[in-house]
Amino acid sequence: MLSITLICVGRMRESHYISAFAEYEKRLKPYCRFEVAELAESRLPQNPSKAEIEAGLCKEAAEIERNIPSGAYVIALCIEGKQLGSGEFAELMRKCASEGKSRLCLIIGSSFGLDTCIKKRADLCLSMSEMTFPHHLARVMLAEQIYRGIMINENCKYHK
């Protein structure tokens, strides 16, 4: 069974995002081991300098590294990453599983993104879009795409 870890920097607080994410989390449970690690976002001043942002991202990166499962195929979400269609994403998940990478780890950074070391460590940098989304909405969208990918691979009617 595929094991998927979603590492998210920042906590969800809005009830509508929480309930939407919970729905996909519930749908995923029969098909994979799905875990979420919510990490604290670095506290920065109101208008942080570039150096303060870099220090915060570095601190977050250390915590992200500690939460990446051993042997996982790592996907870092970042705007400069590669864009995949739902079918391509499903194929990536299928290929990982068939090649013995039964652990997938997807990482969503903080509002300032991800430290360069995490992007370099990733097996794939993935972009959901050139558009910018709130991180909590991106988390819901990613959970939906993981579910959609599994449904594609299971030949279910969910994906049209």
In a domain, 128, yes or no: yes
In a domain, 59, yes or no: no
Instruction: Give the total number of structural domains in the chain.
Output: 1
Residue 80's domain spans which residues?
3-43+68-153
CATH number where 113 lies: 3.40.1280.10
Query: Residue 53: how many CB atoms within 10 A of its CB?
Result: 17
Q: What average pLDDT does range 45-57 have in this prediction? A: 95
In a domain, 12, yes or no: yes
In a domain, 136, yes or no: yes
In a domain, 125, yes or no: yes
> How is residue 140 written in tokens?
């819901």
In a domain, 56, yes or no: no
Q: Each residue of 118-148: pLDDT tens digit?
A: 999 999 999 999 988 888 999 999 999 999 9
Model-wide pTM > 0.75: yes
